[in-house]
A and B are shown apart, each in its own frame.
Chain A
């Protein structure tokens, strides 16, 4: 049941009209290379192999930048790029200083949802459902999977939609959350997104550059992340090991092993070290394990089985967490913060920047 918000159709008219003539000035970024701005992005980020495939550059007003299951590209950019520089202004890796560690947080707890069934404690679903119920957001962008375990973005407007297990659960492949956000930003009032640490960094930079996103993206939940894969590479790799993703109902990384669970209950386990060859280059320079800039970071590390660790970093997330506790939607548990800290340090160790 999608409720149509009447407010969405209003043409907002600002209260104070400015001077008789609108004119506004805009700073443009400096060029590194003597070509169009996408050329700069390509030279500085993509060709150097530090692109994290977060998709923030999809802001491109001519929608020329292709964010698909392959490295970021702008086919025919020499002709079609309109040279506005938006992509390099929002790219989190263009001017890259790696973030690492646990970051600032208000509270570290473990939680388990009583309503939803997710990867571990289903705390991401619970946070978004709480935000929807509290009215903080109208829409939450979730990543669902199709038959081949390929991720696609869905708009959640009602917590009941989250009962579908295809929507909850981790997919371990790049999803087009940011492109979907760019496409729908003009049509929503308040939106919540879920993303890997690189997406959260991209979002924060975007919010600095374009205040519209600060106004509309009310909740950003980060996921604990060591690495992410291109879907086709992951699929081919697993097929090489005799694992069919079409039969899988769950993927997980636990204690250095990539675990695929079939619908029959069968489990396959591959050491993550063997998957080194398919880890994208962009992930190899990322040191941010715990989504430092998110409103709340969620992951399985550091809590008991069936629980999710939650690092609450902002007041909004704190409010939602209190609301969830008050409504008795979740079970609160203990979190071992030193385990998370150890994994953060481990990620810094295996992903040095600058390389070599």
Chain B
């Protein structure tokens, strides 16, 4: 056993310490340096790229399934609506990583700052695309927005304003891809890419009875990679759009 020896303070020193403690308590009782946010009535200002609840713009969605494929928690399920598929999110599984937002080629899935959510039951946590599309029902009690000032002493800056939780975030710049026939010799002319393309960017026509011509329209292609995933023989591969349109050589691989 190790005995920790604590040096016993002298009497006058310990009395001074007691007095110091009591005066500190009185000082804090009179003017406390609190940094508490009175939450439902005050709200901390959140950054624009905050990872909150997701929203879906059904107009923009091209049912490419990329969000469902990339979801690490397997929380996104695609629902069939009028011959198209839209993502629905199971918030019992969702980890709010926003990979789906990053992967969406058309920015149909949008982030929001809503993070304080209540569901009536487990079954209501599974949101079909219709519920994902509209704005969620919100009760706002807050009238004050609080921001912490981290420079020097920690301070709170309170403003009498209501923050908009639904944000329009500009899509961050990242390389855009298009599908291209990298190895046309591998093609077995199965036309699965033609059928699977959500944008109808791949077309085929018969030159004569024995020869078929397939064509990709880069203007339509969104780089959703559905065709690349479906191609049985790896004919198609992703290319960087700017490189392809420039016609130059791409030095980076990614």
Contacts and interface: CB of A to CB of B under 8 A. Distances in A.
A and B touching (Cβ–Cβ under 8 A):
yes
Interface of A: 10-30, 59, 61-62, 82, 84-86, 89, 182, 185-186, 209-212
Contacts of B240: 13, 17
Interface in B217-233: 217-218, 232-233
B189 A86 contact: yes
Contacts of A85: 188-189
Given A13-B238, A17-B250, A28 B214 contact: no
Interface string B176-204: 00001111111111111000000000000
A27 B211 contact: yes
Contact of A211 (B183, B210, B216): B183
Nearest to A14: B182
Given A22-B181, A26-B212, A28-B212, A13 B253 contact: yes
Nearest to B219: A21
B216 A23 contact: yes
B254 A24 contact: no
Contacts of A24: 181, 184, 187, 213-214
A30 B247 CA distance: 36
B181 A13 contact: no
B207 interface: yes
Interface residues of B, number: 40
B217 A21 contact: yes
B210 A27 contact: yes
B141 interface: no
B243 interface: yes
Given A22-B215, A24-B214, A30-B210, A84 B188 contact: yes
| 8 nearest A-B residue pairs (beta carbon) | A24-B184, A61-B190, A86-B188, A84-B190, A23-B215, A26-B189, A22-B216, A14-B182
A82 B239 CA distance: 28
Contacts of B218: 20-22
Interface of B: 180-192, 207, 209-218, 232-234, 237-240, 243-245, 247-250, 253-254
A10 B214 contact: no
Contacts of B211: 25-28
Contacts of A186: 232, 234
A82 B188 CA distance: 12
B239 to A, nearest CB: 5
30 contacts: A13-B239, A13-B250, A14-B183, A15-B249, A17-B180, A17-B247, A19-B247, A20-B218, A20-B245, A21-B218, A22-B181, A22-B218, A23-B181, A23-B214, A24-B181, A24-B214, A25-B211, A25-B213, A25-B214, A26-B184, A26-B211, A28-B209, A29-B210, A82-B192, A84-B189, A86-B189, A185-B233, A211-B185, A211-B186, A212-B183
Given A17-B180, A25-B184, 20 more contacts: A13-B237, A13-B240, A17-B243, A17-B250, A20-B244, A22-B215, A23-B214, A25-B211, A25-B212, A26-B187, A28-B189, A29-B210, A62-B190, A82-B191, A84-B191, A85-B188, A185-B233, A186-B232, A210-B188, A212-B183
B33 to A, nearest CB: 51
A11 B175 CA distance: 14
A11 B190 contact: no
A89 B188 contact: yes
A62 B238 CA distance: 23
Contacts of B192: 61-62, 82
A281 B254 CA distance: 51
Contacts of B184: 24-26
B216 A21 contact: yes
B223 to A, nearest CB: 11
Contacts of A27: 210-211
Contacts of A62: 190, 192
A27 B233 CA distance: 16
Contacts of B182: 12, 14
Contacts of A82: 190-192
A186 B233 CA distance: 7
Which of A22, A28, A61, A89 has the most B CB atoms < 10 Å from its CB? A22
Contacts of A14: 180, 182-183, 237, 239
A85 B232 CA distance: 14
A84 B239 CA distance: 26
Contacts of B186: 210-212
A30 B233 CA distance: 22
Contact of B233 (A23, A28, A212): A212
A86 B211 CA distance: 14
Contacts of B190: 61-62, 82, 84, 86
B213 A12 contact: no
Contacts of B183: 14, 211-212
B9 to A, nearest CB: 61
B102 to A, nearest CB: 16
A27 B213 CA distance: 9
A186 B183 CA distance: 14
A186 B215 CA distance: 23
Given A10-B253, A25-B213, A28-B212, A18 B180 contact: yes
